[in-house]
Amino acid sequence: MDRVDLGGWFLHLLILWFVAIGGPATILPDVQRYVVEVHHLVTNKEFAELYTLAQVAPGPNAMYVTLIGWHVAGLPGVAATTLPLLVPASTLTLLVGHLNERYPNAPLGRAIRRGLAPITIGLMFASATILMRAVNHDWRGYLMTLLTVTVVLLKRWNPLWLLAGGALAGIFGLV
Amino acid sequence: MEQTELSRPRNSALPLFLTFSRITLSGFGGLTFWTRYVLVERERWLTQREFLDLLVLAQLLPGPNALNLTVMVGYRFGRWTGAAAAVAGFLTCPCLVVIGLGVLYEHYGALPQFQRALTGMSIVAAGLLLSFVIKLATVLPRRLLPWLFGALAFVGVGVLRWPLPWVVAALAPWAVAIAWKEQS
């Protein structure tokens, strides 16, 4: 394992987050290249395991970078990997949020929101199907996904119960 | 679609902090799902349409989408302090959880039961995401063009697996131009 240059990592992540349109998934290949291939901070297997762990944990999916930071360098690692995430949000997003509240009926803003809404929905549908293919190994997995969709559309149960059910089904080997 | 009246949060900072703490702690498998569930269905701070408007902007901006959404909802209900309170609520608990996970990971690695439970939860999480998209799609206008753009985005990224920035760059200008022409 190389010595950790936290300042360099911080700057690298800062730049990545500013170009990460479309969320954490878009920067994953570059994060992996930086921590595994260039700087040898974690092995490829560790990277995959830490990523999976952060995906199923509560909180933003982007926190997998924080988890790697903790694993590599403790609390300073947490700070160096988490603060860059906040910078675009606290500058650009606040500015756009401000303009959107100030001029909610500005024609350009309306055209952007109305025009892009279907694309956003199409992209999320793509994420859902990619996730389905990644986790469902046979027909029982797809059946359980279908069951989940049906229950959510028909009932107003708290989805946490469904996740607990999924965990039990997994433990007892049903899926 | 809107069966009940909205209840907007009056006093901003504390409710925003607590609500976003709750969202983030329930957030297995995609936080935007839980943000919609809590803000639209449980708290009724936003309508489906308002939520979708903010989500579109949040996805367009760089950085984690759910965090951008948090900033914009916080700003809408409490201006600068609201945005700060919402973000603090959104990130504090996950930071602690992640450190806890890091400690567990170092000590226990991967137990088989733990791994199997994770598999089961991921399958349900995929279903939650799918139902979330179906619910949001109900507010789209019933016309050909919006659905065509949605289908093209899905095929480009989900089926052909092209890089997302390229797909968005190719579709977005046309979609916005058409929406612009329709409203003027």
Task: Write out pLDDT tens, residues A48-91.
Answer: 777 767 776 777 878 888 888 988 888 999 999 988 888 887 78
pLDDT, tens only, B51-102: 998 988 888 787 888 899 999 999 999 888 999 999 999 988 888 888 888 8
Measured between beta carbons, the chain B residues lying within 8 angstroms of A147 are 127
Angstrom distance (rounded) from CA B33 to CA B133: 9
Residue of B nearest to A97 (CA): B72
Considering only residues B88 and B105, tell me which one the structure prediction assigns the higher pLDDT.
B88
Task: Please give the structure tokens belonging to residue B27.
Answer: 């957030």
Substitution target in B99, B123, B138, B157 with the highest count of A β-carbons within 10 Å is B123
Substitution target in B3, B95, B108, B124 with the highest count of A β-carbons within 10 Å is B124
Average pLDDT over residues A139-159: 88
Average pLDDT over residues A11-29: 72
Measured between beta carbons, the chain A residues lying within 8 angstroms of B22 are none
Average pLDDT over residues A130-144: 81
pTM of the model: 0.74
- Angle at alpha carbon of residue A18, lines to A12 and A22, rounded to 5°: 115
Considering only residues B61 and B184, tell me which one the structure prediction assigns the higher pLDDT.
B61
Asked if the Cβ–Cβ distance from A121 to B101 is below 8 Å, we say: no
Residue A93 is nearest to which of B61, B134, B178, comparing CB atoms? B61
Angstrom distance (rounded) from CA B158 to CA A61: 19
Residue A111 is nearest to which of B68, B131, B183, comparing CB atoms? B183
3-state secondary structure (DSSP) of residue B62: strand
Best-predicted range by mean pLDDT (A163-167, B72-76, B124-128): B72-76
Measured between beta carbons, the chain A residues lying within 8 angstroms of B167 are 123
E strand or H helix that includes residue A26: helix A24-32
Q: What is the ipTM of this complex?
A: 0.74
- Angle at alpha carbon of residue B126, lines to A56 and A130, rounded to 5°: 100
User: Tell me, what's the pLDDT at A3?
Assistant: 64
Measured between beta carbons, the chain B residues lying within 8 angstroms of A90 are 71, 83, 87
